[in-house]
């Protein structure tokens, strides 16, 4: 697998396709149209690769950065938008980008003898991401947006934990690393 899905929501997992945003050289997981195809299939959104091209890839990065700009604005000054080359979209522009993508036709879901089949183009997949992002950002879940507490990770998630005190995007990765680091710090000889 080329992609990780720790957040439980496709729109927020899509933001994770640019890892370590604060690093001087962030890790771009959508470097090629093929990697975008992989994201759609690995996420379960589509059963087969939509055969994305360079224009689809540019649209995907545009959507991802528009969603991140609004998420970062929601999170406040600790989040750093715009870690990729180019201007950071202002909220009105970011909203327009999300709405434009959300208005595209949806992924086609069909029931057949062998079960459910999901097909579509890259634009249809991006439409699903944009619609979910709009639901999160414009609804009550916006108050649950958090950024992972591991300094190297900039993954965003919805904190649905009891008491709203979740610190990491995923316990098995970032949470485990932070707990091991804290343990080693506590048990180092003085």
Q: What is the pLDDT of residue 31?
A: 96
**Do residues 30 and 17 lie in contact, with contact meaning Cβ atoms separated by under 8 Å?**
yes
Is-contact 19 29, C-beta < 8 A?
yes
Whether the Cβ atoms of residue 125 and residue 50 lie closer than 8 Å to each other: yes
pLDDT over 70 at 140, yes or no: yes
CB atoms within 10 A of CB 11: 24
For residues 88 and 13, which has the higher predicted lDDT (pLDDT)? 13
What tokens appear for 138 in the block? 């414009």
Residue ranges per structural domain of the chain:
10-145+153-159
Which run of H or E residues covers position 114? none
- Residue pair 77/70 in contact (Cβ under 8 Å)? The answer is no
Q: How confident is the model at residue 167 (pLDDT cuts 50, 70, 90)?
A: confident
In the DSSP assignment, the letter for residue 163 is T
Q: Round the average pLDDT of the chain to a whole number and report it.
A: 87
* DSSP 8-state symbol, 149: S
Which pTM was predicted? 0.85
Note the pLDDT of residue 22.
80
């Amino acid at each position: 697998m080329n992609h990780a899905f720790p957040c439980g929501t496709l729109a927020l997992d899509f933001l994770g396709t640019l890892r370590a945003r604060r690093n001087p050289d962030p890790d771009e997981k959508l470097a090629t149209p093929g990697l975008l195809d992989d994201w759609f299939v690995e996420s379960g959104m589509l059963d087969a690769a939509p055969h994305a091209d360079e224009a689809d890839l540019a649209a995907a990065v545009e959507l991802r950065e528009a969603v991140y700009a609004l998420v970062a604005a929601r999170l406040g000054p600790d989040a750093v938008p715009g870690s990729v080359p180019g201007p950071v979209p202002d909220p009105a522009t970011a909203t327009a980008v999300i709405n434009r993508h959300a208005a595209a036709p949806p992924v086609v879901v069909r029931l057949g003898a062998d079960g459910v089949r999901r097909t579509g183009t890259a634009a249809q997949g991006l439409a699903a991401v944009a619609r979910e992002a709009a639901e999160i950002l414009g609804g009550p879940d916006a108050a649950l947006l958090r950024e992972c507490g591991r300094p190297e990770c900039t993954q965003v998630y919805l904190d649905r934990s009891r008491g709203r005190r979740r610190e990491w995007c995923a316990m098995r990765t970032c949470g485990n690393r932070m707990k091991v680091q804290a343990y080693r710090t506590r048990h180092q000889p003085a």
